[in-house]
């Protein structure tokens, strides 16, 4: 049985491993370093942050649309935390492959899982597996230059359906409908630019099951739709239904009031004759449509050629029920964007129905429902993929508070020396990257953008996509400094 660890001292800091270097993991590490116990000198900590990718930032780098104006602010905040030097970053290290739970137990007194959720939630309707039916999360990973997805994406459809009424659905629809040249000011990789440039798309349809007052996106996401050049937004009067719950939500919630106001203004300004719209592309927003079936036809067996929806009506509570009226739309591609879903981790219990690690306030639970000493969770893998990135701060605070409460009863790591984990990874030939390596890769990506800008393409940076190239640049940059 492991010895009991007393509160950390300068001679023996509390060793903590955080698995996942996205916002959730960085926030957890930052909150721990700034806790009263640490700042008062009552506790010393030593924190290592691990990520399966060679670069940090997780969802910010690989899950948020590149044309979001708020990205830079969040990246800058995360950068400042990791650039202080009191939290070590180990990239290109995959938990379950390069490191096991036993390894972490050997070298750390506590482990925090902050691995997020990257898979698409399922949409179980007929035709979902047809060619041309995609997961929105997979598409986001592609246009964000994720190193583990194919470099090419089949952008062949003129008419596209996007299923969902959350921020991801709007991101997917906006990127699909936006002209590629307007994305050159972002960090999209060259392969993404070329793919979007060749897209023949003319119409992107976004479908939500409930009404305008029940949408799950935010005012910022909605307003960004109107910033796309040469893209008309199209709405339909028959979709604007409000029940008692809708009216109450509009009156009591400023965010909902703002979004409904924006939508109603847009439809009021829209010409009655849609043929008067002049843009080369159109982004249609549909409400009160429930997906029923994706279908092909004899001329194109196995390929998406259309989709059937049932018209819905609100029932007074904000929920919707079917009307028995069905409508078909000709589309050649369908993107489901109805939410993300977490992935199970080796050696850690997992709730496959909710897509989370079972936990109580952040304390990970075993199959019997008892807390596992020294094991914690935070972020989407803790509570599911709900809320905005900023919500993960409060989530991390809850987890860190419990960890600090437990600190005097944590099972002590038998080999806590900071150099021990470095020796382990090097001995296994992991090819891990570091914070200094990320700074080298970051500078390289900015340099690529600068070269493009010199050629008149207005690029701030260009993402490096292949994993091996990212690792090579990172490690070479560090070696050059030694």
CB distance 322 to 290 below 8 Å:
yes
In tens, the pLDDT along 253-270 reads: 999 999 999 999 999 999
In tens, the pLDDT along 296-350 reads: 988 889 999 999 999 999 999 989 999 999 999 999 999 999 988 899 999 999 9
Q: Which pLDDT value is given to residue 311?
A: 98
Q: Which pLDDT value is given to residue 254?
A: 95
In tens, the pLDDT along 135-164 reads: 999 999 999 999 999 999 999 999 999 999
3-state secondary structure of 311: strand
CA nearest neighbour of 61 among 397, 481, 438 = 438
- pLDDT exceeding 90 applies to what percent of the chain? 82
- pLDDT exceeding 70 applies to what percent of the chain? 96
Residue 350: CB atoms within 10 A of its CB come to 16
Residue 15: which H helix or E strand, with range? strand 14-19
Where are the alpha helices (H) located in 291-412, listed in sequence order?
380-383, 391-406
Indicate if the pLDDT at residue 49 is higher than 80: yes
CA distance 130 to 386: 28
Lowest pLDDT segment from 232-241, 297-306, 389-398, 440-449: 389-398
Q: Which pLDDT value is given to residue 117?
A: 87
CB distance 26 to 81 below 8 Å:
yes
Residue 199: CB atoms within 10 A of its CB come to 20
Q: What are phi and psi of 461, to 5 degrees?
A: -155, 160
The 10 Å CB-count burial string (b at 16+, else e) for 210-234 is bbbbbbbbbeebbebbeebeebbbb
Confidence band for 7, pLDDT divided at 50, 70 and 90: very low
Residue 309: CB atoms within 10 A of its CB come to 22
Stretch 34-49: mean pLDDT: 96
In tens, the pLDDT along 438-473 reads: 999 999 999 998 887 676 777 878 999 999 999 999
Q: Which pLDDT value is given to residue 270?
A: 95
Q: Which pLDDT value is given to residue 8?
A: 60
Confidence band for 54, pLDDT divided at 50, 70 and 90: very high
CA distance 433 to 55: 8
Confidence band for 482, pLDDT divided at 50, 70 and 90: low
Q: Which pLDDT value is given to residue 3?
A: 44
Tell me the average pLDDT of the chain.
Answer: 93
H helix count then E strand count, the chain: 16, 18
Q: Which pLDDT value is given to residue 6?
A: 52
């Amino acid at each position: 049985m492991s010895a009991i660890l007393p509160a950390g001292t300068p001679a023996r800091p509390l060793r903590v491993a955080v698995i996942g270097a996205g916002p959730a993991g960085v926030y957890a590490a930052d909150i721990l370093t700034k806790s009263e116990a640490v700042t008062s000198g009552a506790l010393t900590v030593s924190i290592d942050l691990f990520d399966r990718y060679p670069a940090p930032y997780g969802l910010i780098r690989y899950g948020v649309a590149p044309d979001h104006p708020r990205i830079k602010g969040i990246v800058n905040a995360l950068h400042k935390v990791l650039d202080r030097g009191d939290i070590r970053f180990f990239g290109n290290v995959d938990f379950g492959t390069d490191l096991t739970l036993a390894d972490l137990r050997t070298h750390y007194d506590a482990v925090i899982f902050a691995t997020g959720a990257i898979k698409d939630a399922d949409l179980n309707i007929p035709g979902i597996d047809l060619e041309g039916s995609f997961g929105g999360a997979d598409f986001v990973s592609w246009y964000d230059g994720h190193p583990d997805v194919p470099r090419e994406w089949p952008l062949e459809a003129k008419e596209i359906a996007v299923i969902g009424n959350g921020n991801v659905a709007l991101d997917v629809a906006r990127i699909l409908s936006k002209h590629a040249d307007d994305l050159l000011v972002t960090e999209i990789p060259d392969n993404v630019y070329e793919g979007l440039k060749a897209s023949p798309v003319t119409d992107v349809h976004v479908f939500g099951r409930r009404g305008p007052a029940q949408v799950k996106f935010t005012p910022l996401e909605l307003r960004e739709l109107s910033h796309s050049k040469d893209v008309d937004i199209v709405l339909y009067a028959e979709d604007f239904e409000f029940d008692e719950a809708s009216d109450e939500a509009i009156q009591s919630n400023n965010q909902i009031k703002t979004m409904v106001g924006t939508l109603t203004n847009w439809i009021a300004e829209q010409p009655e004759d849609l043929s008067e719209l002049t843009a080369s592309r159109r982004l249609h927003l549909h409400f009160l449509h429930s997906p029923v079936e994706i279908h092909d036809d004899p001329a194109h067996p196995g390929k998406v050629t259309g989709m059937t929806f049932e018209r819905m009506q609100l029932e007074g509570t904000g929920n919707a029920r079917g009307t028995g009226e069905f409508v078909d739309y000709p589309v050649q591609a369908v993107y489901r964007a109805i939410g993300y879903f977490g992935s199970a981790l080796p050696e850690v219990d997992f709730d496959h129905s909710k897509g989370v690690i079972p936990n109580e306030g952040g304390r990970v639970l075993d199959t019997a429902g008892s807390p596992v000493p020294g094991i914690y969770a935070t972020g989407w893998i803790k509570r599911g993929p709900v809320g905005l990135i900023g919500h993960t701060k409060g989530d991390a605070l809850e987890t860190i508070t419990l960890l600090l409460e437990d600190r005097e009863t944590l099972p002590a790591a038998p080999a806590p020396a900071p150099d021990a984990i470095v020796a382990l990874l090097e001995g296994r030939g992991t090819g891990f990257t570091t914070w200094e390596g990320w700074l080298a890769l970051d500078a390289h990506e900015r340099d690529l953008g600068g070269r493009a800008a010199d050629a008149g393409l207005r690029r701030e940076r260009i993402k490096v996509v292949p994993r091996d190239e990212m690792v090579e640049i990172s490690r070479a940059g560090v070696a050059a400094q030694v």
